[in-house]
Structure 1
Amino acid sequence: MVLGLVVGVGTGLASIWMLFLSSFVGLVAFWWLIKNANRLLYETQLGERQYSLPPGDLGLPFIGNMWSFLRAFKSNNPESFLDKFVSRYGKTGIYKAFMYGFPSIIVTTPETSKKVLTDDDAFKPGWPVSTMELIGKKSFIGISYEEHKRLKRLTAAPINGHEALSVYLKYIEEIVITSLEKWSKLGQIEFLTQLRKLTFKIIMYIFLSSESEPVMEALEREYTVLNYGVRAMAINLPGFAYHKALKARKNLVAIFQSIVDERRAQRKSGNYYVKKKDMMDAMLDVEDDDGSKLTDEDIIDVLLMYLNAGHESSGHTIMWATVFLQANPEAFQRAKAEQEGILKRRPPTQKGLTLKEYREMDYLSKVIDETLRVITFSLTVFREAKKDVKINGYSIPKGWKVLVWFRSIHYDSELYPNPMEFNPSRWDVNF
């Protein structure tokens, strides 16, 4: 009887142990499968080519490397995302990852970046579909190199040339002076918010000849929502930033369509007269060699893109330049002395800033260049391999996304000694 109990207990324990072991092995196998799913799905199909891929990790299915990427860029140390690749795989300048839902190659050196950006036989624009849905399929980021050149040539006319720049300089100077006087009477202000309003007002005038406060406020609200969505994961469900951004784009398109329709009606009436053409007029008038004109979709996507740049990047750049100058008295004094020197050389009869004076602002130009380097407002651009490509001995498979990582280049200590330091004088040397 005792023997039977012992045998029974032993058998029961053995069964429990086997069940535990089987469960453990199953969990390990399941975790291994999940962890390697992206590699099995995207790398093994490459055959021998998988062995010449750059070092890196494709991460978990669907998510890939996005959690660590978003976590890094919401922290005080955004460089930590790429630092992990460098510490784990060495400073190869090229890594594989899984970003924005695609197997991707990240390039981080000037040489590899130049290859990816200039070789149009091997690479094409490769922005994620989710981003294209927000920015527009006819914007500069989503079209071919030839189409990009065409659109840039057709739409840049009203903001190019000495006469055009002189006209806008006068308006810009007047509105900046007015804004500064207004801010000085308000006491404490939210600087970035006011700068956004200022730069947005300027770009609205240049592109639409509009100074309408209601239109500007409506556009600002929608652009704020849109840009949150551009930086968020593409989850198109109610409550998520991307879903809200899609609605914001729809509202922006409706606003711009009404502006285009109104301008067309004004021009058709025969009573439309302006002293100068703005961007809207230029895009309505311009023709290709074959006589074809830009469609409403072309015009709206270009307007949406340009005005967004005026709303976001310009305001942020001015804010950071101001912050850096305040924190660096020597740079501030040098920039101030340059401006004072320009004023001293100005003839007594002259009123207002001239294009010649603007071009004399050599040090201030370096302040802006250094600000753009330090803040790196545009984190990356997306390309896509049109065919299998070899770079630095590594394979980039056809169809994979390629991310040119500007931030890594701008913070490379071999290119920029003490890269975290704000130093406009480093631009005394031509790179």
Structure 2
Amino acid sequence: MDFAFDARTEELRARLLAFMDAYVYPAEAVAEEQRAELSSPWDTPAVVEELKAEARRQGLWNLFLPDSTYGAGLTNLQYAPLAEITGRSPQLAPTALNCAAPDTGNMEVLAQFGDDAQKKQWLEPLLAGEIRSAFAMTEPDVASSDATNITTLIERDGDDYVISGRKWYISGAMNPDCRIFIVMGKTDPDGADIRRQQSMVLVPRDTPGVTVKRAMRVFGYEDHYHGGHAEVVFDRVRVPVSNLIGEEGGGFAIAQARLGPGRIHHCMRLIGMAERAIELMCRRAVAREAFGKALAQQGVVHNWIADARVAVEQLRLLVLKTAWMMDTVGNRGAHTEIQAIKIATPRTVVDIIDRAIQLHGAGGVSQDFPLAELYAGARTLMIADGPDEVHQRSLARRELKRYV
């Protein structure tokens, strides 16, 4: 087996690593200073726009999108090590490269399922980084881990759809540049096939009846750089039928097509988060002394660092295998591997970051290091895009089928 990256990947990795060192890491502290001076906590610090301009100038833009008509045309295997690098600074780097969720998934949906008018109106400005977007699926009143539970109604009324429902943890919705929602709801709530009841429609944020009620916190963080996570009410919101994405009843299939790449992107970035945690752990260990010797000489610290390195190498190989399978046999053919990385990666990275926090003592839970925020992000991914237990259930059933 050949584990080497191809020439294009190596070239992009070198450019991206240099971009991170020269621009992204220095911008982390600057962004926090600028944020304190903004009139709204949801406004974007000026340094973020500077990073975006520089990334675009260097050709480090829309790397996530495999469709060469709209994106960089990279395979999943080529993009994997690049996404890992951006995961080292998850608040800034993905946004700087226009590779941040939920916009990435929304652009993939529009590129794959949108019609020409939808692509012109919404996909093109998203690709240009001129606007942001949100994906509205999760609801507070039902177990949204089972997407067939959603209760938001999308009712046909002549040439319009009328949308009523309540969503929450709608990523990106607090960002003032968010212009469009992709909303999943039921167009056929009594249909015999529960996976054909749902549809997706485009809802401009300024449509009458759309109310962004509040920002939802994640472990106390408001996640400003991703545009926050909002509770949104749709009160008889009226949009033209032409805002339907794909066909009526196609919402569940579109969601699955969207979530497959999203899951592997999250896992790629998680590995970068783990690498950042290991680096911080090692730097702390050699710089601090306790009980008469450096932390780096304590046996338990050796164990933490060694175990973290082994775990990351295992995860990376599994994620790269998954990316390769998605490229060669498609998302459906890589279903087991996608679920495996979605189960293994967040929980392992949470443990690595937890050890790094422990090694930093009080500093680990403070704002002076990125570890607490990294922990919150990694822990959330044990729920987002399907909780671990749902993936375990599906993966186990697939395994058991061979023996029944």
With normalisation by structure 2, the TM-score equals 0.25
Point out which structure has higher relative CO (alpha carbons under 8 A, 6+ apart): 1
For the pair shown, the structure with the greater C-alpha radius of gyration is 1
Q: Which has the higher helix share?
A: 1
